[in-house]
Amino acid sequence: METILGDVFTWSWFSEPHGYNFNSLLLRDPRGNICVDPVEPNDQVLSELVRLGVSRILITNRNHVRAANKIRERTGARAYIHPDDAAYAKGQGAVLDGVLREGEKIGALEVIGVSGKSPGEVALLWPDRNALIVGDAVIGNPPGQLNLLRERVMDDPARLRRSVAQLLALDFDTILVGDGVSVIGGAKQRLRELVASFKPT
């Protein structure tokens, strides 16, 4: 497990088919530590998560259930996903305890809707750190740039592009990505460049 932004823990799993990392986060919060999109942890990472404690697991979309059940079982954390992605996630075996609603505050995070890749895709705005946490709304690939996933994996590509463009109205300078390499500093400009590349629909 590594640290980013000073005290945010992250661990990753390399996806051979995609050619980049799938990433997880643990945010320290006095109200209860928050884990986002946890990938499979090795024994050392799992022991550290148990030691540090996890209060809530936030799943940004239906495809990022990943190792949430294992973390939930070992730490007693409660798992949450947007209601529009809940049925699919449950169908993949996810054990869920609650839902994420747009505009809701969870600890230091605010839930932001970014539907399009899936109906219930969310991002998490972290004002205190001037950061935005995303699952599959955008990816950090190639490193230093932001991109979209291939259209064939999106439910509604045009809607996703609109959702991503709306993120430019938020205040952030860092984007922590679930897939690829996070952009620490200058992230809003990278996102602006991505949005500028969208073809009019």
Domains and CATH numbers, the chain: 2-196 (3.60.15.10)
Among 84, 80, 108, CA closest to 96: 80
Question: Would you call 125 helix, strand, or coil by DSSP?
Answer: strand
Question: Cis (ω within 30 of 0) for the bond into 119?
Answer: no
Distances (CA, A) of 154 to 62, 63, 157, 159: 12, 11, 6, 10
Rounded CA-CA distance 193/145 in Å is 9
Rounded CA-CA distance 18/102 in Å is 29
What's the pLDDT score for residue 93?
96
Q: Based on the number of CB atoms within 10 Å of its own CB, is 165 exposed (0-12), middle (13-18) or buried (19 or more)?
A: middle
Q: Which tokens is 68 given?
A: 């949430």
Q: How many residues does the chain have?
A: 201
CB 91 within 8 A of CB 118: no
CB 39 within 8 A of CB 118: no
Per-residue pLDDT tens digits for 168-186: 999 999 999 999 999 999 9
The mean per-residue pLDDT over the stretch 14-23 comes to 94
Average pLDDT, the chain: 97
Q: Is the pLDDT of residue 201 over 70?
A: no
What's the pLDDT score for residue 62?
97
What's the pLDDT score for residue 42?
96
Per-residue pLDDT tens digits for 99-158: 999 999 999 999 999 999 999 999 999 999 999 999 999 999 999 999 999 999 999 999
Q: Is the pLDDT of residue 41 over 80?
A: yes
Residue 142: CB atoms within 10 Å: 12
What's the pLDDT score for residue 200?
78
13 forms bridges with which residues in the sheet?
A: 22
CB 81 within 8 A of CB 59: yes
pLDDT over 90, % of the chain: 97
Helices (H), the chain: 43-52, 68-75, 83-91, 157-166, 187-196
pLDDT over 70, % of the chain: 100
What's the pLDDT score for residue 87?
98
Provide the pLDDT confidence category of residue 199 given band limits of 50, 70 and 90. confident
The mean per-residue pLDDT over the stretch 190-194 comes to 98
What's the pLDDT score for residue 190?
98
What's the pLDDT score for residue 78?
98
